[in-house]
Chain A
Amino acid sequence: MGPSGSGKTTLLKLLSGQLRPTKGSIRIDGKEITAMNRQALYQLRRSMGMLFQSGALLTDLDVFENVAYPVREHTNLSPSMVRSLVLMKLQAVGLRGARELMTSELSGGMARRVALARAIALDPSLIFYDEPFTGQDPISMGILMRLIQSLNRTLKLTSLLVSHDIDEACRIAHYAYVIADGEVIGRGTPVALRESSEPRLQQFLRGEPDGPVQFHYPAVDYADDLLGSKL
């Protein structure tokens, strides 16, 4: 978790190998990913899933084909097996009946659920969620939370979720890190975080507009600015 602009999505892109760090080390499952070539990275990614903030569904394919895409790319399953597998994944996110819809016909919440079905299509062991609750209505948010929780439990996944929706993230996370100003300002279980005395952390968790992170962007004195002639 962390405020907007703190680098959460960048961190997720680094962890998934979409960005290369200029220095430092990133290990996934004991493997150093910063030194991997494209082939090795692709091999590792077969055991990863990612839910993008925008859903990132392929717009020229319908719902069924979007979920089937990674299955067809990486397996030699027969068409009937692919069909069964895709329907099972769509059933898990409650959209089996929407299989023939094009992505333009889906609501934001539905698009994210289809993207979730696609992310778990190959039964990954690690899944990244990039701001899954942003821009969702309460019903969609509740559905997504329940889905993320149940998938994590039933598929025995490791889920890494990036969010600034504090309450929702704290309700489903076992362990959380809060980042700001390029550093980790808090870590621990959601309960432990709430009991922390770190001022920046408390401002973030309580949603206070002013504090260590100031409401006003640094500027010259207000009165001087109003009276000054400079435009």
Chain B
Amino acid sequence: MIEWLVRLGANSLQGLETFGRSGLFFWRLLRQLPSALREPGLVVHQLYNLGVLSVIIILVSGLFVGMVLGLQGYNTLVDFGAEGSLGSLVGLSLVRELGPVMSALLFAGRAGSALTAEVGLMKATDQLSALEMMAVDPFPRVLMPRWLAGFIAMPLLTAIFSAVGIIGGYMIGVTLLGVDTGSYWTNLSSSVDFYDDLLNGVIKSVVFGAVVCWVALFQGYDCVPTAEGVGRATTRTVVIASLAVLGFDFLLTALMYGEVG
């Protein structure tokens, strides 16, 4: 029993210490923002790696999620004779919730894991130490451009996901199941509000992008510099980033749409 308590205490302390280190890491990262902005070429290069190379998975996933929404939504709405509202259902679901969350989860799996593996391997092969020995701070040169690229790419990927999802819903709802085209688009445009829905969706995706890249970069930078250490850090990135996205989603949704009393 005592041994169990000691282990619990030690693990809790270690967890708190890691959390504190990640906080300091994030602070040091943010302070390099001006330096990274002076080297836009590095950010653009990472935008390609993190953003452009994630487009395929976002496109395919967005299309299927939209098609499933169209199918499920139609089956539910048709019972009430409200299949004309399918556009509202698909649009609101995607723009408010599924677009930001699904894109962030996919981004964590594809780009987040790649970030951790890349930075972890740079650490394991002494490349980060070599930069330090050349008097080059790896934060503005290596880490910040990657974080900034993720921060910029995430809302763009979310927009693509939602747009393709809406087309997927249209393909199933209108083309296959016979919902009126006019109803689909009219209901969609009248129910999706710019500030309440689109802007909140963008805010969510920006927060998710920042969190996923923070977790991914910290895990890579903080990993044990061995093959096993990098592997474990990559797994931790996907798990922690995914859970963080879902946690922040609830928090942001409560702040944006929650009504008290």
Q: Name A's B-contacting residues (CB within 8 A).
A: 16, 18, 38, 42-43, 45-46, 48-50, 52-54, 56-59, 69-70, 73-74, 115, 118
Task: Say whether A54 contacts B136, CB under 8 Å.
Answer: no
Of chain B, the residue at the smallest CB distance from A121 is B134
- Per CB-CB distance, the 5 closest pairs between chain A and chain B, nearest first, are A56-B126, A56-B130, A42-B135, A45-B135, A50-B133
Cβ contacts A to B, 30 pairs, < 8 Å: A18-B129, A18-B133, A38-B137, A43-B135, A45-B133, A45-B134, A45-B135, A48-B133, A50-B130, A52-B129, A52-B133, A53-B126, A54-B125, A56-B125, A56-B127, A56-B130, A57-B127, A58-B127, A58-B130, A59-B125, A59-B127, A69-B134, A70-B134, A70-B135, A70-B136, A73-B134, A73-B135, A73-B136, A74-B135, A115-B130
Task: Say whether A18 contacts B136, CB under 8 Å.
Answer: no
Of chain A, the residue at the smallest CB distance from B134 is A70
Distance A53 CA – B135 CA, assembled complex (angstroms):
19
Task: Say whether B129 contacts A56, CB under 8 Å.
Answer: yes
Residue B132 CB within 8 A of the other chain:
yes
Task: Say whether A54 contacts B126, CB under 8 Å.
Answer: yes
Task: Say whether B135 contacts A16, CB under 8 Å.
Answer: no
Distance A53 CA – B130 CA, assembled complex (angstroms):
11
Q: Tally B residues with Cβ within 8 Å of A.
A: 12
The contact of A52 among B130, B135, B136, B137, by CB within 8 Å, is: B130
Interface of A is mostly: mixed
For residue B197, give the distance in angstroms from its CB to the closest CB of chain A.
40
Distance A67 CA – B131 CA, assembled complex (angstroms):
12
Distance A54 CA – B126 CA, assembled complex (angstroms):
7
Distance A46 CA – B129 CA, assembled complex (angstroms):
14
Chain A contacts of B134 at CB under 8 A? 45, 69-70, 73, 118
Chain B contacts of A42 at CB under 8 A? 135, 137
Chain A contacts of B126 at CB under 8 A? 52-54, 56
Distance A73 CA – B132 CA, assembled complex (angstroms):
12
Chain B contacts of A118 at CB under 8 A? 134
For residue A14, give the distance in angstroms from its CB to the closest CB of chain B.
13
Chain B contacts of A48 at CB under 8 A? 133
Distance A111 CA – B173 CA, assembled complex (angstroms):
59
Task: Say whether A16 contacts B133, CB under 8 Å.
Answer: yes
Distance A73 CA – B135 CA, assembled complex (angstroms):
9
Task: Say whether B135 contacts A46, CB under 8 Å.
Answer: yes
For residue A59, give the distance in angstroms from its CB to the closest CB of chain B.
7
Known: A52-B130, A73-B134. 19 other contacts (CB 8 A): A16-B133, A38-B137, A42-B137, A45-B134, A46-B135, A49-B133, A52-B129, A54-B126, A56-B125, A56-B127, A56-B129, A56-B130, A57-B127, A57-B130, A58-B131, A69-B134, A69-B136, A70-B136, A118-B134
Chain B contacts of A46 at CB under 8 A? 135
Distance A59 CA – B125 CA, assembled complex (angstroms):
10
Interface readout for B133-145 with A: 1 if CB under 8 Å, 0 if not? 1111100000000
Chain B contacts of A49 at CB under 8 A? 133
Interface readout for B70-109 with A: 1 if CB under 8 Å, 0 if not? 0000000000000000000000000000000000000000
Chain A contacts of B137 at CB under 8 A? 38, 42
For residue B118, give the distance in angstroms from its CB to the closest CB of chain A.
9
Chain A contacts of B127 at CB under 8 A? 56-59
Distance A115 CA – B133 CA, assembled complex (angstroms):
12
Chain A contacts of B131 at CB under 8 A? 58
Task: Say whether A18 contacts B135, CB under 8 Å.
Answer: no
> Which B46-66 residues have C-beta < 8 A from chain A?
none
Distance A48 CA – B133 CA, assembled complex (angstroms):
8
Distance A53 CA – B127 CA, assembled complex (angstroms):
11
Distance A118 CA – B136 CA, assembled complex (angstroms):
13
For residue B146, give the distance in angstroms from its CB to the closest CB of chain A.
12
Distance A69 CA – B127 CA, assembled complex (angstroms):
13
For residue B105, give the distance in angstroms from its CB to the closest CB of chain A.
28
Of chain B, the residue at the smallest CB distance from A13 is B129
Chain A contacts of B132 at CB under 8 A? 18, 45
Question: Of residues A56, A57, A58, A69, which shows the largest number of chain B Cβ atoms within 10 Å of its Cβ?
Answer: A56
Chain B contacts of A58 at CB under 8 A? 127, 130-131
For residue A53, give the distance in angstroms from its CB to the closest CB of chain B.
8
> Which B220-245 residues have C-beta < 8 A from chain A?
none
Of chain A, the residue at the smallest CB distance from B129 is A18
Distance A206 CA – B127 CA, assembled complex (angstroms):
35
Distance A153 CA – B136 CA, assembled complex (angstroms):
28
Distance A118 CA – B126 CA, assembled complex (angstroms):
14
Chain B contacts of A70 at CB under 8 A? 134-136
Distance A38 CA – B132 CA, assembled complex (angstroms):
10
